Amino acid sequence: MFRLDLQQSKWTNLNRISLEHPGESPYSRLEYRVCKRFFDILISGLLLFLLSPLLLLIMLLLKLTSKESVLFVQKRVGLNGWEFYIYKFRTLKSSVVDELQPKWEPTTGNDALPLGKILRRFNLDELPQLLNVLRGEMSLVGPRPERPYWVEVFQQQIPNYFLRHRIQVGITGWAQVHGWRGATSIWKRTEHDLYYFRHWSLWLDLKILFLTLTRGFGNRTGS
């Protein structure tokens, strides 16, 4: 119990026994479930419509420059531990992706497809995740979803890591706009994710989206 971060915790008494609660999930709030979801549907739907010519162009160029599949599909862990398949434009060779499972290490420039470096540099490979947002599997803003294998590993190593899954995962987040993404410190990333968990508001989401536009998604050495 004493491994928990008690800064934002609440205490209750049960038959003279003190019980510690590591914070109320934002998902329990009507504002989060209704307003945030409405915002996600509105923005993701609008972006998919406006960016459809660009999406089609990228798909065509990927087809013309590589024999690989256009989309990269991988199982990730989302809200309350539910697993789903995340969508991205493929930027790496499929053989390299297979070799990386379940390794936690950065890829190199030699691993990328001809168009892959450009897509990753400008984060265009992330655009298909707007479909995940529209389907309700992700949000525009939230902790980045991780692979099931690493979720199991990190839950054993990092206190309160499970709290990340009491809130919807997202395309961008508080950790990402501060550079904690990919092959960076999972401890620092979790620290920022827990800050978001405990301080969530619609204003914070808007701030993160603004920082994403001005700073980008952060480190791109990993997946």
d(CA 210, CA 205) in angstroms, rounded, equals 9
Q: Indicate the domain borders of the chain.
A: 30-215
Query: Per residue in 159-191, pLDDT tens?
Result: 899 999 999 999 999 999 998 887 788 999 999
Residue 4 C-alpha from the chain's centroid: 23
Q: Which tens digit of pLDDT belongs to each residue from 17-67?
A: 444 455 578 888 888 889 999 999 999 999 999 999 999 999 999 999 988
pTM score, two decimals? 0.82
Cβ neighbour number for residue 169 with a 10 Å cutoff: 25
CA–CA gap between residue 120 and residue 100 (Å, rounded): 18
Percent helix, strand and coil across the chain, each to the nearest 5: 50, 15, 35
